[in-house]
């Protein structure tokens, strides 16, 4: 998908505390329509907290978050989904008692996605042929990697315009890691803007147009994926170079 100059998501001065303990400090972050933007950082840096503030799974924080001009901080999480923002949570939260196909159908529960259900099922089965082979299998009996694919596929069933991915590569075998980043690029080419949160700093900066480095709740570096890969600090802290 061509990147536009149009700002889709704009976060300004976002701060957030859990029970009085501040974990996000005045974060500024932008995602333009068509981009893959990544937020990288170590355990506990605040990556998931940032995504949950966008999707309104957490409230309130101070600062502003707007999506195409709409103030998200005034919305409920289901209203955020209806705007076209879909979060694939960390840790493969699929329905383990439902089959693969039932999980996918659950993903298209919102009104605007129901009509596209058949087309989206074809699309996600094309992206993840493994899911098609196992469409009748119970989600909970799928392997960890397969559940991760299912979680992403289920998110795509909701017709996202902005997809929030929380550590999609976590726990995957090296070969599958490569594969999942290729699939993220492929999803983006089909017109989905992506905000990707990852600990796999190398792979995510490699596929992202732009990135932000988060350390203990603060943005310490920002730039194109390529520029960040060449930053001395990124090399030392995350790439072991
Ligand atoms: N529900 C919670 N209650 C209290 N503190 C929390 C809660 N969730 C997260 N935290 C704390 O907030 C900080 C940021 O956590 P967060 O989950 O956003 O990090 P992360 O960057 O996603 O880390 P990881 O890579 O390990 O998933 C951490 O110090 C964490 O302990
Ligand atoms: Mg996290």
Domains defined for the chain, CATH in brackets: 7-84+160-239 (3.40.50.300), 92-155 (no CATH)
Q: Is the CB of 49 under 6 A from ligand 1?
A: yes
Q: Edge-to-edge strand order for the sheet containing 210-215?
A: 85-88, 162-166, 193-198, 36-40, 210-215, 218-224
Local structure of 105: helix, strand or coil: helix
3-state DSSP percent of the chain in helix, strand and coil, to 5: 40, 30, 30
Cα 104 to averaged position of ligand 2 atoms, centre (Å): 24
Note the pLDDT of residue 1: 60
Closest atom of ligand 1 relative to the 51 alpha carbon: 18
- Residue of 45, 59, 164, 214 to test ligand 1 pocket, by largest number of atoms within 8 Å of CB: 45
Note the pLDDT of residue 2: 67
pLDDT in tens, 179-213: 999 999 999 999 999 999 999 999 999 999 999 99
Q: Is the CB of 52 under 6 A from ligand 1?
A: no
Q: Is the CB of 87 under 6 A from ligand 1?
A: no
Q: Which tokens is 182 given? A: 């290729």
* Residue 36, phi then psi, degrees to nearest 5: -110, 120
β-partners of residue 157 are: none
Contact 183, 127 (CB under 8 A): yes
Segment 98-102 long-range contacts (CB within 8 Å, at least 24 positions apart)? 98/138, 98/139, 99/135, 99/136, 99/137, 99/138, 99/139, 100/131, 100/134, 100/135, 100/136, 100/137, 100/139, 100/142, 100/150, 101/135, 101/136
Q: Is the CB of 159 under 6 A from ligand 1?
A: no
Note the pLDDT of residue 85: 97
Instruction: Kindly provide the b/e burial profile for residues 49-77, where b requires at least 16 CB atoms within 10 angstroms of the residue's own CB.
Output: bbbbbbbbebeebebebebeeeebbebeb
Note the pLDDT of residue 61: 79
- Residue of 48, 55, 204 to test ligand 1 pocket, by largest number of atoms within 8 Å of CB: 48
Contact 50, 14 (CB under 8 A): yes
pLDDT in tens, 65-100: 999 999 999 999 999 999 999 999 877 789 999 999
Cα 197 to averaged position of ligand 2 atoms, centre (Å): 8
Note the pLDDT of residue 5: 80
Q: What is the pLDDT along the chain (241 residues), one digit of tens a residue?
A: 667 789 999 999 999 999 999 999 999 999 999 999 999 999 999 999 999 999 999 987 799 999 999 999 999 999 999 999 999 987 778 999 999 999 999 999 888 899 999 999 999 999 999 999 999 999 999 988 899 999 999 999 999 999 999 999 988 888 889 899 999 999 999 999 999 999 999 999 999 999 999 999 999 999 999 999 999 999 999 888 7
Cα 197 to averaged position of ligand 1 atoms, centre (Å): 13
Between CA 38 and CA 47 the distance in angstroms is: 10
Instruction: Kindly provide the b/e burial profile for residues 121-156, where b requires at least 16 CB atoms within 10 angstroms of the residue's own CB.
Output: bebbbebbeebeebeeebbeebeebbbbbbbbbbbb
Cα 72 to averaged position of ligand 1 atoms, centre (Å): 21
């Amino acid at each position: 998908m061509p990147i536009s100059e149009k700002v889709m998501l704009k976060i300004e001065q976002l701060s957030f505390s859990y029970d009085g303990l501040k974990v996000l400090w005045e974060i500024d972050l932008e995602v333009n329509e068509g981009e893959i933007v990544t937020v990288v950082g170590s355990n506990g840096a605040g990556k998931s907290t940032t995504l949950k503030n966008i999707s309104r799974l957490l409230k309130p924080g101070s600062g502003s978050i707007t999506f195409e001009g709409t103030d998200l901080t005034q919305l409920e999480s289901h209203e955020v989904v209806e705007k076209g923002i879909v979060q694939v949570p960390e840790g493969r939260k699929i329905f383990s008692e439902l089959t693969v196909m039932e999980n996918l159908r659950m993903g298209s529960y919102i009104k605007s996605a129901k009509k596209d259900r058949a087309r989206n099922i074809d699309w996600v089965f094309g992206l993840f042929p493994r899911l098609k082979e196992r469409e009748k299998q119970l989600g909970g009996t799928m392997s960890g990697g397969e559940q991760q694919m299912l979680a992403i596929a289920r998110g795509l069933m909701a017709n996202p315009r902005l997809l929030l991915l929380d550590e999609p590569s976590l726990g995957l075998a090296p070969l599958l890691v490569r594969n999942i980043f290729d699939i993220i690029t492929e999803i983006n080419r089909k017109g989905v803007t992506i905000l990707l949160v990852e600990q796999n700093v190398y792979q995510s900066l490699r596929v992202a147009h732009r990135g932000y480095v988060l350390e203990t709740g603060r943005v310490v570096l920002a730039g194109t994926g390529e520029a960040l890969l060449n930053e001395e600090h990124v090399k030392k802290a995350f790439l072991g170079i």
